[in-house]
Structure 1
């Protein structure tokens, strides 16, 4: 990517809040790589499809402001919102990001794990059709944008099964992607500067950003 490109950063927070440490410090790191970046305050404590509409509008706005390519980088529930923008059908021209970086993402709304994000986004009694239509692994198609995913095997809040489901879907669809799983690190570690092993994700992501087309 180049300074003419832009990455929208979506902090996590179970669709109830937005974690500060997954916002401004991450945008600063991206700018240090020479990539334009800003934090997106997508709506929380609101139901689907409001977060998706917000991300799509922000992608379109970044293009209107002159960005040649627009990426999304999200953490946890923010990664789910970013992934919805990357994979869900129905995007208007200019609303779909060109690449996605998903950090310990909430992927499946059909799993029992991490019910908080699911209930905040689609309610506690959502039927299976709605849960499927908001599960990233069920939305991936061959034209999905290149994707970088990382997770930790020690994550108990959003188990690594979520990342594996997405990796399988991306592989099955032939979508260019990288998937990295580190053994240690609790959920919500952000830039992971103090977590040996997982701290490598930033260098891996930076190298991927320099290669992705």
Structure 2
């Protein structure tokens, strides 16, 4: 009886795995055709191209950002060269269903880990700053919080995070009235100075480093 139950459980797990693979297959095909050159075969990102890690990010967040690019809520500000490159790629996806498929595929991948590129910063001080200013939305370990529409930060490139943080401060992100969550982050970005940002990034590197 025990052997039968074990075999039945194994069969169920195998079937579930196959079903999940089948569910994400369309998104994988779209990702490989459209995104892999910049974001990497495993969605790990490419800091040299300012392409963020996408693997393991929340599907809802990825979907929202793709839709923002498609509707010019992001990527049209002067000086945002990375956003300007991303906008036509997002618009190259056929429809909302394609956007959802790509987002769900990326969310199904193991969360990315990053190699720190920035030096300096006080990680201990950054931990205090992060918990007081960022943790209530992005999670105690920077794992993100879907209920608050806050993305995962752990495992993201420090160079990319620095660039995007400064884009919020400079009005290159969160500049459209309809981008409610972007505008919220723009307000928070103005609560940290450059030294404090470096400390927070040093702390985040301890959470998602390879």
TM-score range, shorter chain: 0.3 to 0.5
More strand per residue: 1
More helix per residue: 2
The structure showing larger relative contact order (alpha-carbon pairs under 8 Å, at least 6 residues apart) is 2
Q: Which structure has the larger Rg?
A: 2
Q: TM-score, normalised by structure 1?
A: 0.34
Q: TM-score, normalised by structure 2?
A: 0.34
